[in-house]
Amino acid sequence: MLAGQHTATAGAKLLTEQHRWSSKGGMAAKLRPLQSALQDISADVVIIGGGPAAHAAAVYLGRAELEPILFEGWMANGIAPGGQLTTTTYVENFPGFPEPILGGDLCDRFRQQSLTYGTKIYTETVTKLDLLGGSPFKMWTDSKAITANAVIIATGAAAKRLKIPGTDEETGFWNKGISACAVCDGSSPLFRNQPVGVIGGGDSAMEEAGFLARYASKVYVIHRFDYLEASKVMQKRARANPKIEIVWHHEVLEAYGKEDDDCLGGVVLRDNQTGEVRKLPLSGLFFAIGHAPATKFLGGQLELDEYGYIVTAPDSTATSIKGVFAAGDVQDRKWRQAITAAGSGCMAALEVERYLAEKENPGSRSFDDGGEVAPGANWGSSSTAAAGPSGQQVAVAS
């Protein structure tokens, strides 16, 4: 826990008690001074998240001189500030980097760019929000009480991982042959012309296996059942690929390393029907058992889909509450790429800018092509002026 958070947490708990006993004058009077334990701050827009979606939004809003505040979280959803990119090694598919760049280094550049254009960043986790009351919205961390006229939620989604010995970051082979994103890591030299495994039996597993088959010598789909949950078309595609072999009714017991280095060497499998245990040599292992969007902290205030992702209006980042927007993997169950997350962060920033402009000047709206405006998205002019890092005005076409 960060220094000072013990005090802040204690203060937050006592504030809860104050609210509970507010009808009892004497108790409320005694507890009222403890409100000072939380620092009150406010902003036009608050961004919750620390990945490419959050920072793309921050850069656009900073250049528009809206002075956004960003809460990047501290091990929120079990991931370091920066999001899932911090859990990968080399990134080769983000435009602008002809040479591979480490995921952590790319996150550092995102963060520095946000700071350059005036974003104030707090390494704290937003634990509670009040969105139903409308703008200005309220939210809390362990040490701060925040109000904002608009909110962008970009908290991402974490790949689900089985707790199998040898697959963790500290003592296992995570990022040393084990991953949860074939599209991100599958083309690495580590896996080229080598046998790899995919854990799962749904559409995601079939898609990952198909992608890996382009590079690997063999792809084993390891599934604990004797049937697949994937759609028929995805099953047919996987079974028709000569490089893909489905290992029925097996589960991975543990991962082990190579004798000559610290990378993955294979996995130990158990047949769920016979109990037989055997080793399967692999250079790569990919989890493909779904993702968990970081939406629990919302407390059911926003509309979510059946998988827990935030629902946004078509062609928009607007959520079910006006003034609240969602960007990145927290609302994207399909693509889940750093570049698509950054794109939606840009969209959210532009929608927030226009929402705030309309909020300040009701009725001022222009949309040149006459198209429909998405719910919650209040469009302004087709271009705006923004300040560069040295203060000069730069025209930004939207």
Q: Which residues are catalytic?
A: 181, 184-185
| Alpha-carbon gap, residue 197 to 203, rounded angstroms | 15
133-163 burial string, b = 16+ CB within 10 Å, else e?
eebbbebbbbbbbbebbbbbbbbbbbbebee
Q: Which two tokens stand for residue 394?
A: 């730069």
Helix (H) / strand (E) element for 22: namely: none
DSSP sequence for 314-343:
TTS-B-SSTTEEE-GGGS-SS---HHHHHH
For the chain, how many helices (H) and strands (E)?
A: 8, 21
- Report how far apart, in Å, the C-alpha atoms of 150 and of each of 69, 147, 193, 256, 364 are: 11, 9, 50, 48, 18
If DSSP codes are grouped into helix, strand and coil, which group holds residue 376?
Answer: coil
| Alpha-carbon gap, residue 134 to 60, rounded angstroms | 24
R_g over Cα of the chain: 24
HSE toward the beta carbon, residue 279, CA cutoff 13 A: 10
Asked if 340 contacts 334 with a C-beta cutoff of 8 angstroms, the reply is no
Q: Which two tokens stand for residue 39?
A: 């620092």
Strand 250-257, strand 264-271: pairing = antiparallel
- Report how far apart, in Å, the C-alpha atoms of 30 and of each of 2, 12, 21, 143, 178 are: 28, 15, 11, 20, 54
Asked if 268 contacts 277 with a C-beta cutoff of 8 angstroms, the reply is yes
| Alpha-carbon gap, residue 224 to 204, rounded angstroms | 15
Is the torsion defined by CA of 180, 181, 186, 190 positive or negative?
A: negative
